[in-house]
Structure formats: structure tokens, C-alpha cells
Chain A
Amino acid sequence: MDAGNYIEKDYFVKSLAYLFHETFEGSPEGQGSAYLDRGIGIFKTLDALSAEQVSRESNGTTIAAQTEHAKFYLDRLCEFIGGRSEKVNWEDSWLIEDVSEEEWTALRTTVRKSYENALRCFAENQNWSEDNVGMAMGMLAHTSYHLGAIRQIAKGV
């Protein structure tokens, strides 16, 4: 095997997990952050918002909608990495617009589960094909994108 043509799977998975950790939980104390200021991961951002705030419409979207969409994308891409071949109706990712307090608590809990499931999916996956590598990186980019949107919307709700 020509070492120059392969990368260690552990390097990729650990780097991905590090970036995911920062995106969801914020950068770890005592360590440098890769791209976010301290304390602005998804969980801290969402936990600071009420159901009423996340349901408030802001130029055609809500934070609740962005949150559900980001979670839906994570779940489906984990399924694809795991071998799913059935198509996804992406419109289903935008079905939630507003939430009650109870629904908001439940949604935040499912986001945490989706995050943990994604980390497990990366750690356990044995088939790092081009498609799967691309989907894993796409999950990071997509989540970062919607975190950026959520934090911008949160300034005005």
C-alpha cells in the first residue's frame, strides 16, 4: 500500500468529531477553538431561547424550523452512511414552523440525540467511500450553516 495515497481513518473521524463537538457543545475549555467563539455552540444557543422566540417568524423562517431542518438532515445522512438507499422527501424537513414549550423541549432533546447518533455513526462506520466521506463533511458544513443562520435570526427575535 502506498502510504501517500491513503489517510488514516482515525485522523478523519477524530477531526470530524472534534469539529462536531465544537459546533454542538462549543469549544472545550483550555483548548483552542477551531472556528467558533467560546460559548456559541448549538446547545447553548438553543437553550437560551424560549419556544415563543423560536416560533417567531423572521423573513420567512423561524429558529424552530431551522433547528428541525438541521436535525432532519443529520438523521437522514447518518442513514445514508449506514446504507439507506431509499430517497428522502426533503420538504419533510421543513414541516415544523412553530413550537409549544413542550415541543421545544422535545425538539432540543432530539437534536442532542441526533448529534450523539452522528458521532456514533462516524465512529462505527467501516465503509468510508467517497460518498460517505462527502456526506460526513456535508453534515458538518450544513450544521455550521444553520447555526450561523440561527444565531443571526436570534439577534432579532
Chain B
Amino acid sequence: MKTINQDDFTSSLFALLKETFEGTNTAFGTMYLDAGTGFFDTIDTVDAEKASRALSAESTTIAAHCEHVRFYLEFLSNYMNENFTMVDWKDSWKTKTVSDAEWTALRGQLHKTYQRVTDTFNDVETWNDFKISSALGILAHTAYHLSAIRQILKVI
């Protein structure tokens, strides 16, 4: 077998992406997260004060992780759409604390960027190695930071 049915690939990709962000159960249960622990499930339980709280001066806040995830999603989405504008990754960590209004806005932007990623994936006609790697990177990166956020939540 030298090929994979594209629908088999995309259905799995979308299921995992949905689980990572929305945490919803599929008909088969979750694939790697406990139910109700997706990205939005997690950050929607957090207020701006908590999202801005750092354990120490060097610690990363939940707001910082969220903005970094959003920045990465936007970059990869642009990249997959062949917009190769370079970015300064340090900019992805500029947000440290947020007001209530900023926290609401940041969560709204995350929803919009997630939707843009979904649209980008839907628009792919041919999944070459570059697009597959980008999609897998989005999945792995978001999972990594989701877990970090959930660990931080236990201690703040």
C-alpha cells in the first residue's frame, strides 16, 4: 500500500483537532484526552486574574501560553496558505497579563484562529509532506501547551 485514503487522514486529523480544542467526545470516545479537558474547556474556567498569575517572576502565565498558541496557529495557518512572512517568535511571548476585557478578547481570537485553521485544513486539495507536517505540528504544539496550562492551573 503506497497511498492513504485522504478522507481517512482528514477525518482522523479533524477528530484530533476537535478533541484538542473542544474536548468533545466522538462516537468512539476520546483518542488521547480525558473528556472535558480540551483547550476551550480548560481556559473557559479561568478568569483574567488567574490567567495573569505567575508562580514566580520567571514563570509563564496561562495568558502567555494562550497568546503563544494563538500566534503559532496563525503563523502555521499562513504558512499552509503559502504566506511565508517571517515572524519574530519572541513576539509570541509578549503577553503576560491580561485585563478582563483583554482575556475575553484573547479567548475570542483563539476561537477565530482555530476556525481559520479548520478552514485552512478544509481547503487543502492535496496533502503533501509540507502540509501534513504543518498539521501535525499544530496538533503536537497545542497538545503540549494545553498540558502545561492544565498543570499550572493545579498550582495557582
Interface contact A9-B1, CB-CB below 8 Å:
yes
Interface contact A141-B139, CB-CB below 8 Å:
yes
Q: Would you give the shortest CB distance from A59 to chain B, in whole angstroms?
A: 4
**Measured between alpha carbons, how far is A148 from B59 in the docked complex, in Å?**
14
The contact of B151 among A4, A6, A59, A144, by CB within 8 Å, is A59
Q: How many residues of B contact A (CB 8 A)?
A: 44
Interface contact A144-B140, CB-CB below 8 Å:
yes
Q: Which of B128-156 contact A (CB under 8 A)?
A: 128-129, 132-133, 136-137, 139-141, 143-148, 150-152, 154-155
Interface contact B133-A19, CB-CB below 8 Å:
yes
A interface, over-half SS = helix
Cβ-closest chain B residue relative to A8 = B3
**Measured between alpha carbons, how far is A15 from B82 in the docked complex, in Å?**
18
Interface contact B7-A133, CB-CB below 8 Å:
no
Cβ-closest chain A residue relative to B154 = A59
Interface contact A5-B32, CB-CB below 8 Å:
no
Interface contact A148-B148, CB-CB below 8 Å:
yes
B interface, over-half SS = helix
Interface contact B136-A59, CB-CB below 8 Å:
no
**Measured between alpha carbons, how far is A134 from B32 in the docked complex, in Å?**
10
Q: Which of B1-30 contact A (CB under 8 A)?
A: 1-9, 11-13, 15-16, 20
Cβ-closest chain A residue relative to B11 = A130
Q: Would you give the shortest CB distance from A66 to chain B, in whole angstroms?
A: 9
Please encode chain A, from 125 to 157, with 1 for each CB lying within 8 Å of some chain B CB and 0 for all others: 011111001110110111011111101110110
**A4: chain B residues within 8 A (beta carbon):** 6, 125-126
Q: Would you give the shortest CB distance from B124 to chain A, in whole angstroms?
A: 10
Interface contact A35-B137, CB-CB below 8 Å:
yes
The contact of A5 among B7, B140, B144, by CB within 8 Å, is B7
The contact of B147 among A12, A15, A130, A149, by CB within 8 Å, is A149
**A3: chain B residues within 8 A (beta carbon):** 126
**B150: chain A residues within 8 A (beta carbon):** 149
**B31: chain A residues within 8 A (beta carbon):** 134-135, 138, 141
**Measured between alpha carbons, how far is A134 from B129 in the docked complex, in Å?**
17
The yes or no answer to B33 lying at the interface (CB within 8 A) is yes
**Measured between alpha carbons, how far is A156 from B151 in the docked complex, in Å?**
11
The yes or no answer to A95 lying at the interface (CB within 8 A) is no
Q: Beyond the given A144-B147, A147-B147, A152-B152, please list 4 additional residue pairs across the A-B interface where CB-CB is below 8 A.
A: A4-B126, A10-B129, A19-B133, A127-B1
12 contacts between A and B (CB under 8 A): A1-B3, A8-B129, A9-B4, A11-B127, A35-B137, A35-B141, A35-B144, A130-B8, A142-B32, A145-B32, A148-B151, A152-B152
